[in-house]
Each structure stands twice: as C-alpha cells, then as structure tokens.
Amino acid sequence: MTLRKISASQIYTNRGLPLTNAVLVVDPAGVIVSLDPLENHDPASVEKYEGILTPGFVNAHCHLELSHMKGKVSTGTGLVKFIEGVVSLRGSDQEEIQTAIDAADEEMWQGGIVAVGDICNKPDTFARKDISPIHYHSFVEMFDFWQDHLAQKTFEEYKSVYDNLTDKEGHRRSAVPHAPYSVSRTLFRLLNDLNSEGTSISIHNQETLAEELMFRDKSGDFLTLFGKFGFTYDHFEPTNQSSIHYAIQNMDPRHHSLFVHNTLTNANDVKVTVDWNPNSYWVSCPNANLYIENRLPDYQMFLATGAQVCLGTDSLTSNWQLSILEEIKTIRKYQSFVPQADIIRWATLNGAKALNIADQYGSLEVGKAPGINLISVNSAGEIDTSSNVQKVI
Ligand SMILES: [Zn+2]
C-alpha cells in the first residue's frame, strides 16, 4: 500500500491553531492515517506544497437542478423581481438541463467541494448524484404558498420526487420547507411526520425585507407577488415578529436545522433559534446575496453570538460560479475582519456538522477521508482575490 505524505506552509486541520512543519499521511482511499511532525519523515518522501492545506469544502446550499439558468436572470433587481424571472424561465429542454447539471457537478468537484446540501424540486439531478464522487444530501423542497387546503396535494406531488431516492452511501435525503412565507402550518406538519429522527433540514430564511415586512405587519411586496401567482393571503395574520419565529414554531428541533441566507437575521433571532435547537446552522451564500439583493448578512453579529456559520453557493441562477473559494474571497474582500481560520471552518467543518457527516468530512483528522485542498495565499499567508484552489486528494 503506497501512502502519500503531504505537507505545506500551513495546515488548517480545524482542531487548534494551523500547523506548520507537519505532514499528513494518507492512504490510497484518502483516509488520513497519521498527522506527524515533518522531521519524522525523509524529506524526499514528502510532497511539499506552497500555500495552505484545508479539508475539502462543504457547499451547504445549492440548487444543482437550476444550473442551466446560468446568466439568464439579471442581477441586483431584488428577490421579488428575481423570483418572477426564475418562474418565467423554469421550462427548458431536458438535454440542456442534464448537460448543465453534469458540468456543475464536475465544476464543484474540481473546485475542492466534497459534499453538498442540495435543494431539489424535481428528480433531474438524481442520476448524476449516483455516479458523482461528491457526497450529496438532497433536500426535497416543498411549498404551498400558505394554502392549507392545498398542503396535502402539494405534499403528495413532491413526495413522489422524494420517493425516487433512498438513503445510501454518498447520498442522503430529507423533505424540507422552502421558506417561512411559502409554507403553511399543515405542510410543515406533513414534513415533520415524514422525516425520520436525526436528519438535516434546510429552510430559506430572512432573505429580503419583503419577507420581514410580511410577517411584521403584512406589508411589503410579497403578497402582491403571490397574488399574481394566484394565491390569496387574506387569512394570513402578521405575527409582529421576524419570519424565523414562525419557522421554528413549526420545525422539528430534533434535526440539524440549516437556515439559509439570513441577510436580515439579528442577534435576538440567533439566540431564540439556538435556544430552540442548539444544532442550528446559519448558511451564508454571499455571492448570491450580492447577485440578488446586493446586501450581505451581519457577519460581526454571527461572530459575536458564536453562531455556527456554513457557506453555500446557491444556484447558477444567482451566482457566477459554484465555488466555495469564491464565497470565501467575497467575505475576505468585503468583511475582512472575519478571521481566516473562522472562514475556513465555515467552509468545511460547520457544513459537515450541519449535514451530519462530520465523522468523515470537515476536518483533517486521523481516520477521516475529508478530501484535502491546497489554497494559494499571499506573502502574509492570507487568502486574497488572486487565490486559487487545487484538489490534492
Ligand atoms: Zn436557495
């Protein structure tokens, strides 16, 4: 058995400080068999790289099935216009859809992504996921636009998508709510009944001011938009609270909960949510936020509250690429106060924990096969806009 010995200027293991003068010994299956001081090994036997080594990236939020819509919806228009654009473009040629899915899966793998939390409304991606080396958690997503009388029918429709999948090595599934503004209490209950204990559940959260206004006092653009789709919200009673309160009243706290976007989330929202479920994760998709709303979440607040942040790319409908490194660069560029070690943990370990796969992914530890990425850094050892990523394992 040939072992590879891999070293670089710094190794971010996600356990303690970054290591210098260390070597990762890896077996042919990618399992880390030891983590040693460099001097224990003959220098000629060690692959020594320039840059930093990190575990493989976890993309905690993607919509792989929307990959064919790259560049088709304009940027910076806000979420309401964005949704209108997406809805008008959904019907496309099946071959074009499949080709785009294959290319996007390949792009993620080459970009050092080893696991993905992926939203599905259709079964289009399932065949690719069966052959992809990436670990997928498919979140089969449901929404009924608060029409309780349609909840059962909606549920059965999407349940037929969900039934196409079985949990297996490298691919897990759960059924999830789309967003607080689009899921009725009845549909939440049906979802809770379907999901087994100890899975991961994702929900889009506090993405735009319209969502907050709807819950606070029934104002904002959302209800007009949903009216155009033919859904009445006459029965909707504003809660005078942010939308996440409605979500956690209806979600099952036994699961790991992934809240996605959180551009309007404040410290109190984080506190009540973590009190409700300590396994709550805050998935940030900064490039998609810039693409759609041109507004980023409050990362200072995330750091201050100790929130468990993950990173996601969202879909090619709302991003220029599916690259976790590009998400890291965006945070480094606009929110440079976030320590590099924290961002790397957001990009790796926290996503692995959120998806319940931290036994295998997310940190460079003996016994795991987390993938190993090499990221080029500047002379200060920092990731900057010119950094690139290379898959070492
Ligand atoms: Zn999304």
314 alpha carbon to ligand 1 midpoint, in Å?
Answer: 5
Q: How far is the CA of 380 from the centre of ligand 1 (A)?
A: 35
Residues with Cβ–ion distance below 5 A, ligand 1:
314
Q: Give CA–CA dist 100/118, Å, rounded.
A: 15
Ligand 1 midpoint to CA 67 (Å):
12
Using CA atoms, how far residue 226 sits from 292, 338, 392, in Å, is 19, 37, 47
Name the pTM for this structure: 0.96
Rounded distance from Cα 137 to ligand 1 centre (Å) = 14
User: Which tokens is 313 given?
Assistant: 């790319």
* Rounded Cα–Cα distance for residues 129 and 136 (Å): 7
Binned average pLDDT, 10 residues per bin, the chain of 393 residues: 95 95 97 97 97 98 94 73 68 87 98 98 95 97 96 96 89 97 98 92 96 96 91 94 98 98 98 98 96 93 98 94 98 96 98 98 98 97 97 97
- Calculate how far, in angstroms, residue 294's C-alpha sits from the geometric centre of ligand 1: 16
Measure 18 CA to ligand 1 centroid, in angstroms. Answer: 32
What is the distance in A from the centroid of ligand 1 to the CA of 37?
42
Which of 330, 283, 322 is CA-nearest to residue 113?
A: 322
pLDDT tens for 109-154 read 999 999 999 999 999 999 999 999 999 999 999 999 999 999 999 9
Whose tokens are 């599916």? That residue is 322
Candidates 58, 9, 56; CA nearest to 308 is 58
Expressed in angstroms and rounded, the spacing between residue 367 Cα and the centre of ligand 1 is 33
**pLDDT given for residue 90 in this prediction:** 62
pLDDT for 89 equals: 66
Question: How far, in Å, is the centroid of ligand 1 from the Cα of 119?
Answer: 7
Whole-number Å distance, alpha carbon 176 to ligand 1 midpoint, is 12
Strand extents, DSSP E, 274-349: 280-284, 308-311
State in Å: Cα 62 to ligand 1 middle. Answer: 6
Alpha carbons 217 and 136: distance in angstroms, whole number = 38
In the reported structure, the alpha carbon of residue 7 is separated from the centroid of ligand 1 by a whole-number distance in angstroms of 36
For ligand 1, the distance from its centroid to the CA atom of residue 83, given in whole angstroms, is 11
Output the CA 171–ligand 1 centroid distance in Å: 19
Distance, CA 233 to ligand 1 centroid (Å)?
23
pLDDT at 82: 67
- For residue 315, report the distance from its CA to the centre of ligand 1, in Å: 7
Rounded to the nearest angstrom, the distance between the alpha carbon of 5 and the centre of ligand 1 is 39
Classify residue 367 as left (phi > 0), alpha (psi -120 to 50) or beta: left
Ligand 1 center from residue 121 Cα (angstroms):
11
**Rounded Cα–Cα distance for residues 192 and 176 (Å):** 9
C-alpha 174 to ligand 1 mean position (Å): 16
What's the confidence (pLDDT) of residue 91?
Answer: 63
| 313 C-alpha to ligand 1 centroid (Å) | 9
Which domains are delineated in the chain? 4-54+378-391 (no CATH), 57-361 (3.20.20.140)
Ligand 1 center to 125 CA (angstroms): 15
The two tokens of residue 273 are: 């949510």
Residue type, 203: I
d(CA 202, CA 205): 9
Q: Which token pair is 6?
A: 């891999």
